[in-house]
Structures are given as structure tokens and as C-alpha cells.
Amino acid sequence: MIPSFKHARRLLLKTTVTVVVMASLATGSSSLQAGEAAGALIAYVGTFSSPLRDVLPTQVDLPPGNGRGIHIYRVNRATGAMTPAGIYHSGTSPNCLALNTAGTHLYSTNETDRVGEGKEGTVSAFTVDRTDGGLKLLNTVRSGGAGPTYVSIHPSERFLLVANYFGGSVAVLPVLPDGRLGAATDVKIDAGKIGPARATNAPPGSFAFSGHDRTHAHMIQADRSGRFVLHADLGLDRIFVWRFDDKTGTLTPGETAAVALPPGDGPRHFHFHPNGRWLYSIQEEASTVVLFDYDAATGGLASRQTISTLPPGFAGSNFCSEILVSEDGQFVYAGNRLHDSIGIFSVGANGELTFTGEVWTRGNYPRSFNFDPTGRFLYCCNQRGDNIAVFRVDRKTGGLEFANHYTPVGNPSSIVFLDLAKPR
């Protein structure tokens, strides 16, 4: 987020709307086109969405968005092209999505602050129609803070983990036997010293400033064992480490409760290497990736390398976004907003990264990207370009080649895939 964008979000946060309106919006439904065959590859796209007058009755959320809710697409497995298959209409900016392993339930954040006196956001649970990928709302619950921006599923699949950006908090929501969500079993509110306006490792001439005004929990994810949960707070320049009790759904500080990033750098997202021993963190305002050695026995993190996400010689402002490690662990991909590129890195034998190149995202402000289930295609959500661009992945070199497919969608934020051909 650049300052003008963040300022607009703050203004809209002050708008009051009743819980009754929120509840009525949550009853929207997806409308899939007829003829969708079983066995399809389905893509769900979360968006920043404001109500359209022909769909929803009133302004509800922030920021003003061009999306219409959760957009559903059928994906051509050979070419990577996406065909519209339906929309779950929502004006609450369902910006982050997560699917359970069986592909029977989808969960979405709703980046709002409209619920209750504490001005919380919400998270919604949906059942997935396994014949065509259609969605049906199960329920919507409070997220434990304002502006939920990230959701992930605990490896036990009995809990959902939520990061509330504007609330500066994280929460644990139980997943009930039928897939519905229960009230939070734990909420942790971030606290500490806010980092400076200028990142320690900012590129020359950078004016990048987004989240160092207060606490901003930006991501939460368990390690693969589920024993530890990590979350990044951009404003505090810290990654927190929690022990997780999978019986009670509660978090307690790890042996090392948090690890600090350089002041002002702004950790946003992180991704574990498939070996479980390395973690890569991307810093929004510094435009860097930091490699951490991860101790699976204690949850400890030790930084070992810092590398720029940008090409040599870059100067000016940039805001990093997504980071992904390829399934084979050979490559790391880092998103750059304003520079509008994806940086490509090879992973050495010891986990350290080498910059090998970059690709233009074919759109403005790439917020996130994801691989299809085969890893042959990468889909980039160009938030301000109102499109998703498709790239072929060279599995040997890690290179990305534009596949000549754009999908128009208003303010796309995230994309996840469901292969209906795979057994539950």
C-alpha cells in the first residue's frame, strides 16, 4: 500500500454500517454457468470489492474496489487460460482465501471493521460443490480484530488462523465438524515499539512508507508439524513465534517469542522451504528477502542472508508483496509493486539465494501470485491493473514466460486452485 491508498482505507474505516447489513450481505450466493463438467480445474479469486448497486444495496467495505466478491473460473489445464464460471457476490472485500485439503470447504477473510463495538472484521466459511466448484455460505464469524487480511488452515485442519491488519492482532478460530467456524479460541494483540518511517535497507531514493504507523499483523502460518505458529507484524518489524495447543486452540509464546527484522523494513509474508529447515521472509518497505534457519524443535529463527528483490542498480520506491518457494525447493519468487515485477532466485545447496532475473507482471501492483496444482503455470493478481496474468514456468531454470492470457477481474487479491479430478 502506498500512502494515498492507505489514507483512503482509513477514511472508509470511519464509516459506520450496521451488523444487520453485514449479515444480509453474507447471504449472497455464487451462480455458476450451466454445463460445467465434473473433473474441472477451478480457480477462486479473492478481490477488493465494493457493492455494485445492481447486486448489493449499500456501501459496506474498504477500500473502494472493482471486484464483485469471490470470482470463480474454470482453468484450461493445457494453456492456463481461465474462463468465468460464476461469482459469489460480496461487498466485504474477501481478499484472502484458503481451501481445506479435501477441497470441500473454502474460507475467506472479509477485510472490514463493521462488526460490534470493537469494530472487528469477519471470516466466512463455504461448502464447495464438488461437481462444479460452486460455493454456498455456511456461516460468518468475527475475526478477532479489524481488517483481516490473511487466513491459513492449521495442519490439523481443526483450526483457522487469521491475521488482522488494522487490528494488529491474530486469532484462532475452531473449524467445526461440518466446516462451519466457531468463535475464536484465542486472540493475541501485538504490542511493541513501532519501526521508523524509512526502512533500514530501503533502495536509494525510496519514499516507500506503508505500515509504520501502528501494529499491523500481516500474515499467520503454522509450520508443517503444527506445533508452532508464526506471524509477521509489519509495523513492529517482527516475526512472532507461538507454541500451539491443538486441543484448546490457544497460543503461548515460543522459547524465543519473536525475532526482529531491521527497523522500518516491514516483514509482510514468509514461506517455508519444503525441507522445513529454511524460511524466507519478504520485507514490504525494504524490498528484501531474508533467509532464516528454522529450528523445528524450538520454533527458533536465525537470519543468515539478506538479498534485494530488485535488479542491480534499481533506485526509487517499491513495495514488496508475495513470496513463494517452488514445490521442488529450487526457486524463490518475490513480488514487487510499483516496479511491477516478480524477482526470480535460485536456491543454493545451503538455502542461500542468487538473483537470476525478473519478469514484468503485465499489470499494475502485483499483490499476490500462486502456482496451479502442477506448478507449470504461475498466476499473478495485478490488483490495480484489474487483471490476472498467466505465466509458464520453466521447471529447469525457474524462468517465467508470459502465456498470452489475461483474465479481467476487478482488484484481484489472491488466487487458489481446486482440482475436481482429484479424489476427496
Report the run of H or E that residue 3 belongs to, with start and end: helix 3-13
Task: Report yes or no: 142 and 120 within 8 Å, Cβ to Cβ.
Answer: yes
pTM over cut 0.75 = yes
Q: What is the CA radius of gyration of the chain?
A: 20
State how far Cα 145 lies from the chain centre: 17
Report d(CA 112, CA 103) in Å as an integer.
Answer: 26
pLDDT at 80 (0 to 100):
98
Walk along the chain (424 residues) in steps of 10 and give the mean pLDDT of each run.
38 34 40 54 94 43 77 98 97 95 97 77 97 97 96 98 97 98 98 96 95 96 98 98 98 97 98 98 98 98 98 97 98 98 98 98 98 98 97 98 98 97 88
Specify the amino acid at residue 215. Answer: T
Q: What is the DSSP letter of 36?
A: P
Task: Report yes or no: 368 and 150 within 8 Å, Cβ to Cβ.
Answer: no
pLDDT at 39 (0 to 100):
82
Report d(CA 252, CA 228) in Å as an integer.
Answer: 9
Task: Report yes or no: 242 and 188 within 8 Å, Cβ to Cβ.
Answer: yes
Q: Which burial class, exposed, middle or buried, applies to 12 when counting CB atoms under 10 A from its CB (0-12, 13-18, 19+)?
A: middle
147-165 b/e (C-beta count within 10 Å ≥ 16 → b) = bbbbbbbbbeeebbbbbbb
pLDDT at 9 (0 to 100):
39
